[in-house]
Amino acid sequence: MAYDLLVVGSGLFGAVTAYKAKQQGLNVLVVEKRHHLGGNIYCEDNDGIKVHKYGAHIFHTSNKEVWDFVNGFVDFNRFTNSPLALSKGKLYNLPFNMNTFAQIWGVKTPKQALDIIEEQRRGVKGEPQNLEQQAIALVGKDIYELLIKEYTEKQWGRDCKDLPAFIIKRLPLRFTFDNNYFNDTYQGIPVDGYNPLIEGLLAGIDVEMNTDFLKQKAHYQALAKEVVYTGPIDAYYDFCFGKLDYRSLHFNTQRLEQDNYQGNAVVNYIDKEVAYTRVIEHKHFALDTNTKHTVISEESPLEWREGLERYYPVNDDKNMQLYKRYRQLSKGTEAVHFGGRLAEYKYYDMDKVIASAFHFSKRFL
């Protein structure tokens, strides 16, 4: 056989696994369906502005091993994500913190804010069973109605009562005046965008782009002893149990001949009357881009259908039952390993995907 390992997909899971395999002395081939490397962290240059082609990607982690690893390939700037939310004509700070509470209720102290939230939380008894209950248990009814309900229902295309509670647990709740969206120890954006990270990981490794593995499965599988597959798990099995649901996104990306459009990298649009959930102004990720123009992307969620990119797994009960059947099947598929957000049908951040590829490499390579 020509290769020890075939890696399907050049996103973070595939690229980190390929890198680790090469370090072990394995001969690796990576195949990638798209015309570029990096999966969803890919950036496109627009006259000096790094455009996050598949949505805002902010690196944040508390895992020192992961942080040291990525810093071995690229330098990071000190970007701190502090998005704003526009709801009913007014701007609010995110995540939910003392600035938000002061803007909504006019409170001045943590105690005043906590008293209001405690009062509004009372309706939820016991362990929250869905996103609505979880949100109210976390921040109370006012914030749920002003900043969560409409955004979430747009994002997921489902009622908050039908969504899993864990989605909202991602967001910090703070009783300090601190607009940092993440609690992690380390945070930043690679100063030259994410492409050099992937190029560094895949340096010296054979790569075939514009290649859909599933269209030539037998041919590629015969080239290597083992396969790491990072595409959608249901597609690998030709949807034999049915299709998993995903949310897709449409990005309306525009170049504007003005130097500063919204004064912040990310502004969330909560109201259901606005089709998009976020507007990203890419130059603000870099902190030092002095261009006369700017590039913005309006991000609109929609249900995934054939021909669109799969962005978010929909981890509700129905889909998790279906995923488990594929997962069970994959355990019996010899010499093929499934990893990453599509193959594991998991809402994974970048650092977690890297940590998972480390774990996989230690166990199997």
Site residues for ligand UDP, 57-86, by CB under 6 A, read 85
Q: Measured from the CB of residue 73, what is the shortest distance to ligand UDP in angstroms?
A: 23
Contact stretch for ligand FAD (CB under 6 A) within 34-42, 109-117, 138-146, 168-176: 34-42
Residue 355 — left, alpha, or beta (φ > 0 → left; ψ -120 to 50 → alpha)? alpha
- Assess whether 174 carries a catalytic annotation: yes
Q: Measured from the CB of residue 294, what is the shortest distance to ligand FAD in angstroms?
A: 20
Q: What is the DSSP string of 290-324?
A: --SSEEEEEEEEEE--TTSPP-EE--SHHHHHHHH
- Examine residue 170 and tell whether it contacts ligand UDP (CB under 6 A): yes
Q: Which listed option, ligand UDP, ligand FAD, none, makes contact with residue 170 (CB within 5 to 8 Å by class)?
A: ligand UDP
- Examine residue 231 and tell whether it contacts ligand FAD (CB under 6 A): yes
- Examine residue 152 and tell whether it contacts ligand UDP (CB under 6 A): yes
The smaller minimum CB distance to ligand FAD, of residues 107 and 214, is found at 214
CA distance readout (Å), 252 to 55, 160, 255, 278, 281: 11, 26, 10, 11, 12
Considering only residues 26, 27, 33, 44, which one is a binding residue for ligand FAD as defined by CB under 6 A?
33
Q: Measured from the CB of residue 262, what is the shortest distance to ligand UDP in angstroms?
A: 15
The smaller minimum CB distance to ligand UDP, of residues 55 and 200, is found at 55
- Examine residue 55 and tell whether it contacts ligand FAD (CB under 6 A): yes
Considering only residues 7, 28, 41, 163, which one is a binding residue for ligand FAD as defined by CB under 6 A?
41
CA distance 198 to 50: 15
Q: Total binding residues for ligand UDP by CB under 6 A?
A: 12
Contact between residue 340 and residue 9 where contact means Cβ atoms under 8 Å apart: yes
Residue of 19, 32, 234, 247 marked catalytic: 247
Residue 9 — left, alpha, or beta (φ > 0 → left; ψ -120 to 50 → alpha)? left
The smaller minimum CB distance to ligand UDP, of residues 151 and 326, is found at 151
Rounded to the nearest 5°, which phi and psi values hold at 98?
-55, -30
Residue of 234, 299, 344, 351 marked catalytic: 299
Q: Measured from the CB of residue 281, what is the shortest distance to ligand UDP in angstroms?
A: 16
Strands 206-208 and 28-31: parallel
Q: Measured from the CB of residue 364, what is the shortest distance to ligand FAD in angstroms?
A: 16
Q: Which residue has the tokens 């899993």?
A: 164
- Examine residue 167 and tell whether it contacts ligand UDP (CB under 6 A): yes
Contact between residue 248 and residue 304 where contact means Cβ atoms under 8 Å apart: yes
Chain Cα centroid distance, residue 14: 16
Q: Total binding residues for ligand FAD by CB under 6 A?
A: 35
The smaller minimum CB distance to ligand FAD, of residues 4 and 212, is found at 212
* 34-37-41 Cα angle (round to 5): 100
Tokens of 89: 């004509």
- Assess whether 247 carries a catalytic annotation: yes
CA distance readout (Å), 67 to 33, 40, 59, 105: 28, 19, 9, 38
Contact stretch for ligand UDP (CB under 6 A) within 10-18, 61-69, 162-170, 243-251: 162-170
Q: Measured from the CB of residue 97, what is the shortest distance to ligand UDP in angstroms?
A: 13
Q: Which residue has the tokens 């870099």?
A: 286
How many contiguous H segments (helices) and E segments (strands) does the chain have? 13, 16
Site residues for ligand FAD, 7-26, by CB under 6 A, read 8-14
- Examine residue 353 and tell whether it contacts ligand FAD (CB under 6 A): yes
- Examine residue 168 and tell whether it contacts ligand UDP (CB under 6 A): yes
CA distance readout (Å), 158 to 131, 234, 239, 268: 11, 22, 23, 18
CA distance 303 to 287: 34
Residues near ligand FAD, by CB under 6 A: 8-14, 31-34, 39-41, 55-59, 212-214, 230-231, 249, 311-312, 340-342, 348-351, 353
Catalytically active residues are: 170, 174, 247, 278, 299, 347, 349
Residues near ligand UDP, by CB under 6 A: 85, 94, 147-148, 151-152, 155, 167-168, 170-171, 268
